[in-house]
C-alpha cells in the first residue's frame, strides 16, 4: 500500500492538474463502505497534502475535492444500507469482517447524528457508520449535514497534516 501511495504522490507532484480529481477519487474510495476495507487511502491523501506547500498545488480545489469525494462515498454507503438493510452484512467483503457492522450499529445508536462526524475520523468506523445509519434509517437530512460538514473537516485535516509534516521535515533538513 505504501508503494501505491508513493506512486500517487509522485504522479501528483509531476502532474499537479490531476491533484483534485485524484484526491476526489481517493477520498470517495476511503469513505465507501466496501472499498475502504480493502484499500485505505488516507496515507496517499496525507502524502498529497505534503505536496501542497512544496509544489505549489492550490489547497482550495484539492480540499473541496477531498470533501466532496468523502461525502459522496458516505452518501452512497448510507443509500446502500438504507436500500439493502440487513442483507448488507452477508455481502462480501463485509461478510469477512462480521464485527464491523455491529460496531457501527452500536456507535450510531449511542451517538446518533454526531456519530457521523466522529466516525469519519476512526478507521473501520469511517465506512461502517454511514452504512449502519442507512440500515437503521437515520433521518436523511441530519445525516447529510453531518456527512458534508465532517467530510470537509476530515479532508482539511488530512491535507493540512501532510503539509505540516512536510514543513517540519523541510525545517529539520535545513537545521541538521
The pLDDT score that the predictor gives to residue 105 is 85
CA angle at 134 for the pair 128 and 136, rounded to the nearest 5°: 100
Q: What is the pTM of this model?
A: 0.89
**Mean pLDDT confidence for 104-122:** 90
Residues of the domain holding 66: 2-175
For 112, left (φ over 0), alpha (ψ -120 to 50), or beta?
A: left
Taking only the tens place, the pLDDT of each residue in 40-67 is 788 888 989 988 877 888 999 999 999 9
Query: What is the count of structural domains for the chain?
Result: 1
Grid coordinates representing 151 are 467530510
Distance of CA 116 to the CA centre of its chain: 12
Average pLDDT, the chain: 88
- Give the whole-angstrom CA distance, residue 77 versus residue 79: 5
As a dihedral over the C-alpha atoms of residue 136, residue 100, residue 33, residue 69, rounded to 10 degrees, the angle is: 100
Taking only the tens place, the pLDDT of each residue in 151-160 is 999 999 999 9
Taking only the tens place, the pLDDT of each residue in 138-173 is 999 999 999 999 999 999 999 999 999 988 988 998
Amino acid at each position: 500500500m505504501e508503494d501505491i501511495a508513493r506512486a500517487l504522490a509522485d504522479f501528483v507532484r509531476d502532474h499537479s492538474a490531476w491533484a483534485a480529481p485524484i484526491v476526489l477519487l481517493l477520498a470517495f474510495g476511503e469513505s465507501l463502505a466496501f472499498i475502504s476495507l480493502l484499500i485505505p487511502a488516507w496515507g496517499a491523501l496525507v502524502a498529497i497534502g505534503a505536496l501542497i506547500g512544496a509544489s505549489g498545488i492550490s489547497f482550495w480545489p484539492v480540499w473541496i475535492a477531498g470533501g466532496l469525494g468523502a461525502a459522496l462515498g458516505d452518501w452512497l454507503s448510507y443509500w446502500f444500507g438504507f436500500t439493502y438493510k440487513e442483507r448488507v452484512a452477508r455481502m462480501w467483503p463485509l461478510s469477512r469482517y462480521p464485527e464491523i457492522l455491529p460496531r457501527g450499529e452500536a456507535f450510531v445508536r449511542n451517538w446518533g447524528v454526531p456519530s457521523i462526524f466522529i466516525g469519519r475520523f476512526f478507521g473501520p468506523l469511517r465506512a461502517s457508520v454511514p452504512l449502519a445509519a442507512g440500515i437503521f434509517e437515520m433521518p436523511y437530512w441530519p445525516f447529510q449535514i453531518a456527512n458534508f460538514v465532517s467530510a470537509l473537516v476530515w479532508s482539511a485535516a488530512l491535507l493540512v497534516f501532510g503539509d505540516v509534516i512536510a514543513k517540519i521535515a523541510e525545517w529539520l533538513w535545513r537545521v541538521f
